[in-house]
Amino acid sequence: MKQQQVALTVAGIVVTLFCFLGATSLGPVGAMLNFLTPLPICYLSMRFGMRVGFLAVVLVCLLLSLLVPFHSLVAYLGLFGFSSLLLPLLLRRGLAWDSSVALTVFVVTLAALVFFTTYLLVSGEAPGALIDQYLQAEIEQAMQVYQGAGLSDSQLQEMEEIARQVADFIRSTFFGLYVAGILTVQLLTLLLLQRFKKDNYQIAGTPFVAWRLPAPLIWVLILAGFSMLVPQDSLQLVARNGLAILLPLYFLQGLAVVNSFLQKKAYPPVLKGMIYLMVFVFNPLPLIVTGVGVFDLWIDFRRPRNKEI
């Protein structure tokens, strides 16, 4: 048992480094691996205890200090290292999975805001300028990838225009997208922890098939939606960031409705997998699923219907 624990801990550290560093060396595939960075240490913490998880985070930080600049080490701690300990700590204490995710997202976001504010005060930079620098670096990196793909000059100009439009959208919803990104990482980690748990640990909470958001939250969504119609930039900025956080939550509730429907059908696992893939990838299915999540409050799609004779 001790040998297995040591072997899995070493493997978890290696996989964590691979997922985190893959974002800069493997292109788009690496960016997807980045979302899995907290998973190995979360699994170690859930299976072997928080001491093992804490030791793994310390060792990862020591190795990263030798491999990457200091700001990348800080980025690991802020985005992944802290949450890879907090989420399993809450789950191991028996807190429901949705409350654990919500609290983890809140604490990580609060810590990021404190760090970001402190950095701005020390450096004297404006928040907008710092975000612009980040987005400009991302645009330049994307254009290098497109140039390497052998696109023509007209195609490169078109792709650059699209990249700048996306950057403008990100600039105006940066906070909301950041929180939504943290939420996505935690939910993906939770899903995979559920898949890998076997008899090694338990995860408390309402089964996903029956999960719902608190009913009063719908009024916050409605208020944010109507605020987008008010011709006031500051109000629209707040509403836009609020929608960036709320809409993924209602997409998740719509996904619970889809999950409930598929559990009642004797479809082959491959077909169910294809349906889930289409829900995420093919437009306008994500919008439809989000709408289902919104209207589930009133229609209750999962309520058993009496069949007419």
pLDDT along the chain (309 residues), means of 10: 85 91 62 86 94 94 88 80 93 95 94 81 74 74 70 77 81 88 93 90 91 92 91 90 93 92 84 86 87 88 66
What pTM did the predictor assign? 0.85
Residues of the chain with CATH 1.10.1760: 1-122+176-204
Please count the other Cβ atoms lying within 10 Å of the Cβ belonging to residue 87.
29
Please count the other Cβ atoms lying within 10 Å of the Cβ belonging to residue 92.
18
**Residue spans of alpha helices (H) in 49-152:** 50-67, 70-76, 83-92, 97-123, 127-148
In the three-class reduction of DSSP (H, G, I as helix; E, B as strand; rest coil), residue 309 is classed as coil
C-alpha closest to that of 167 among 126, 130, 138, 127: 138
pLDDT of residue 309: 44
Pair 12, 56: CB distance under 8 Å: yes
Pair 29, 44: CB distance under 8 Å: no
Sign of torsion, CA 131 133 136 141? Answer: negative
User: What's domain 1-122+176-204's architecture?
Assistant: Orthogonal Bundle (1.10)
pLDDT of residue 305: 65
Q: Is the peptide bond before 38 cis (omega within 30 degrees of 0)?
A: no
pLDDT of residue 166: 79
